């Protein structure tokens, strides 16, 4: 039975009782084995889903509380405990999956719940065995240690003690000396922690390679794709897609960067110079966090009935923690509390345009979760990650007509910067992806060899980047700042795939908002009922893997960019 929503401040930290969990899951497994038909199994599945919802709510609450305050001993201890026991959750989840996948009445269950669910089950069974539980537990501890290193960063800068998110605004400052000083401060901090971060990643790579070998795979690449639930594309298709980005997008970006530096009057740019889009300064939000949330509420209210209900719900129940502060984990994300049917947005506002991006991007994720909460099969509520990112990135473009409220006089600057940044992100995204493929194809490489490989890949896709004044980054260590590489291997190309699809929503929205918004709502309500490529097909969206489609998507956007006069911004 669903609980009534409550304010997040009233949520209780409850650590899952593993003895109770194991006893209940063993009971469910035995009952499912004893079933004679799909109807009997369906009744047990309903009870199982209710129990899993309770556990997932408990674990999500712990994760959010720890993210909000990594220095709290109670939260840290609870998160550490989850890191230890999560392989046990996986073990019993797989036991249920195996029974259902092999059930004699499987075809009847497929008619009831859909065939895609069972394709996911079949894939899931390829990713787990009890023999990899020790590696899974160790992996969790290492990724938590990585999060702690970045979350607890304290950097002295011009009389202030800042975390990485807070330092970020100085990396975008209109004064070049401030950008340089901030870049050096960040580089110094990274250099002080490089050895341990490199060791953590080396250990993670070996663990993942070991797991892959134990499960019978040649390398972790195949297992990594399976872990992400990719049923309809593979590494070869991704390689062809990367080639499209290199061919069609990199030259466009090089022109944009050249024009940017010309406008800024910088002849020998360093990497931190590209953080400044305009000589007059980057677009800045027109108010404080409360003001931005108020503007977001107006935007979501204007977009439609569903989005108004959604954001009013988020505000009423305190389902956002947005501002950066000491001890808070870096980055941003959206998660979900199943028992309360409530999404949650986590972020680190730092006074830059990124704060508005969060309200749109993570808001898009939360909106999809809100709209999909009525889907009865929990495994089908959310699609695979690349499809999830379509919801978030598209919402960023649906927000364009409301930028006067968010930015005031800087609205046009924001629109240009947002579109240019979105296009320029694609080469960076494939850099991270190609690097990860290289890493897991060379699992015994040293830290120095990994850095050299990253530097070579980076130089091909983003040749404008120079780190002459930052010795740590100049070695090829930028990848160490990308948390996805550590916690979610191969989850980064997803952003670029989604961006190519979101661009389609952007172009269509400029022509006919009402029609495009209905199309977007339809996609969100589908949740994860279908795999990525089928979701695209059902919503008449271009498949990024088909050669030529990237060009078709990018071409109209270059025309949009030409409509801005950046020399006057």
pLDDT at 209: 98
* Whole-angstrom distance, CA of residue 326 vs CA of residue 422: 29
Q: Are 333 and 68 in contact (CB under 8 A)?
A: no
pLDDT at 568: 85
- Residue 53's alpha-carbon distances to 92, 308, 343, in angstroms, are 15, 26, 14
pLDDT at 3: 77
**Buried-state track 31-43, b at ≥16 Cβ within 10 A, e below 16:** bbeebeebeebee
pLDDT at 283: 94
pLDDT at 482: 96
SS3 state of residue 209: helix
The string of DSSP codes covering 415-460 is: HHHHHHHHHHHHHHHHHHHHHHHHHHHSTT--HHHHHHHHHHHHHH
pTM: 0.91
pLDDT at 490: 97
* Annotated domain spans of the chain: 8-118, 289-418+494-535
CA 108 to chain centroid, in Å, comes to: 35
Question: Residue 102 burial by CB count (10 A; 0-12/13-18/19+): exposed, middle or buried?
Answer: exposed
> Hey, how many other C-beta atoms are within 10 angstroms of the C-beta on 492?
20
Sorted by sequence, the CB contacts under 8 Å of residue 38 that are 6+ apart come out as 105, 108, 109, 111, 112
pLDDT at 165: 85
**Buried-state track 444-471, b at ≥16 Cβ within 10 A, e below 16:** ebebeebbebbbebbeebbebbbbeebe
pLDDT at 174: 93
Identify the helix (H) or strand (E) that includes residue 250. Answer: helix 250-264
- Residue 430's alpha-carbon distances to 61, 241, 294, 456, 493, in angstroms, are 33, 9, 36, 13, 6
Q: Would you state the structure tokens that stand for residue 104, as one six-digit string?
A: 């004699």
pLDDT along the chain (569 residues), means of 10: 84 96 97 96 96 97 95 95 92 95 96 94 93 94 93 93 91 95 97 98 98 97 95 94 97 96 96 95 94 98 97 98 91 94 95 94 97 94 94 98 97 96 98 98 98 98 96 98 96 96 97 97 96 96 96 96 91
Question: Residue 409 burial by CB count (10 A; 0-12/13-18/19+): exposed, middle or buried?
Answer: exposed
């Amino acid at each position: 039975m669903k609980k009534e929503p409550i304010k997040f401040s009233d949520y209780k930290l409850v650590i899952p009782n593993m003895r109770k969990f194991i006893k209940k899951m063993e009971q469910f497994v035995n009952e499912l084995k004893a079933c004679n038909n799909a109807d009997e199994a369906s009744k047990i599945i309903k009870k199982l889903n209710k129990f899993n919802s309770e556990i997932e709510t408990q674990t999500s609450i712990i994760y959010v509380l720890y993210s909000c305050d990594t220095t709290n001993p109670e939260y840290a201890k609870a998160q550490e405990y989850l890191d230890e026991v999560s392989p046990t959750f996986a073990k019993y989840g797989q036991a249920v999956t195996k029974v259902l996948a092999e059930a004699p009445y499987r075809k009847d269950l497929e008619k009831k719940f859909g065939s895609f669910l069972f394709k996911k089950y079949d894939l899931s069974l390829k990713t787990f065995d009890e023999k990899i539980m020790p590696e899974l537990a160790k992996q969790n501890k290492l990724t938590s240690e990585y999060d702690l290193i970045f979350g607890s960063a304290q950097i002295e800068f011009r009389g202030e003690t800042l975390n990485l998110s807070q330092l970020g605004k100085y990396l975008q400052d209109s004064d070049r000396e401030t950008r340089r000083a901030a870049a050096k401060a960040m580089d110094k901090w990274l250099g002080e922690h490089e050895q341990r971060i490199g060791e953590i990643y080396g250990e993670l790579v070996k663990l993942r390679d070991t797991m892959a070998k134990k499960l019978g795979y040649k390398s972790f690449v195949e297992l990594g794709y399976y872990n992400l639930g990719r049923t309809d594309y593979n590494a070869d298709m991704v390689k062809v897609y990367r080639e499209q980005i290199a061919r069609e997008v990199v030259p466009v970006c090089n022109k944009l960067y050249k024009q940017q530096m010309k406008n800024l009057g910088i002849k020998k740019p360093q990497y931190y110079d590209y953080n400044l889009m305009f000589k007059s300064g980057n677009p800045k939000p027109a108010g404080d966090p409360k003001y931005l949330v108020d503007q977001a509420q107006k935007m979501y209210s204007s977009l439609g009935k569903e989005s108004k209900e959604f954001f009013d719900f988020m505000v009423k129940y305190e389902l956002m923690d947005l501002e950066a502060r000491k001890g808070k984990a870096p980055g941003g994300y959206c998660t979900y509390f199943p028992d309360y049917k409530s999404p949650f947005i986590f972020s680190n506002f730092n006074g830059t345009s990124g704060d508005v991006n969060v309200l749109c991007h993570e808001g898009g994720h939360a909106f999809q979760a809100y709209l999909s909460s009525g889907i009865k099969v929990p495994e089908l509520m959310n699609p695979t990650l690349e499809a999830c990112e379509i919801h978030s990135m598209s919402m960023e473009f649906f927000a364009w007509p409301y930028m006067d409220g968010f930015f005031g006089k800087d609205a046009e600057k924001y629109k240009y910067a947002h579109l240019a940044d979105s296009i320029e992100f694609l080469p960076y995204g494939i850099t991270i992806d190609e690097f990860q493929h290289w890493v897991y194809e060379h699992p015994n490489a040293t830290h120095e060899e990994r850095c050299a490989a990253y530097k070579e890949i980076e130089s091909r896709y983003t040749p404008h980047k120079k780190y002459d004044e930052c010795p740590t980054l100049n070695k090829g260590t930028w990848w160490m700042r990308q948390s996805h590489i550590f916690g979610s291997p191969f989850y980064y190309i997803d952003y670029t795939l989604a961006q190519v699809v979101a661009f389609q929503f952007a172009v269509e929205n400029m022509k006919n908002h009402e029609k495009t918004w209905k199309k977007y709502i339809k996609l969100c309500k589908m949740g994860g009922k279908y795999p990525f490529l089928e979701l695209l097909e059902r919503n008449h969206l271009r498949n990024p893997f088909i050669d030529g489609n990237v060009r078709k998507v990018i071409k109209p956007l270059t025309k949009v960019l030409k409509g801005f006069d950046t020399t006057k911004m």
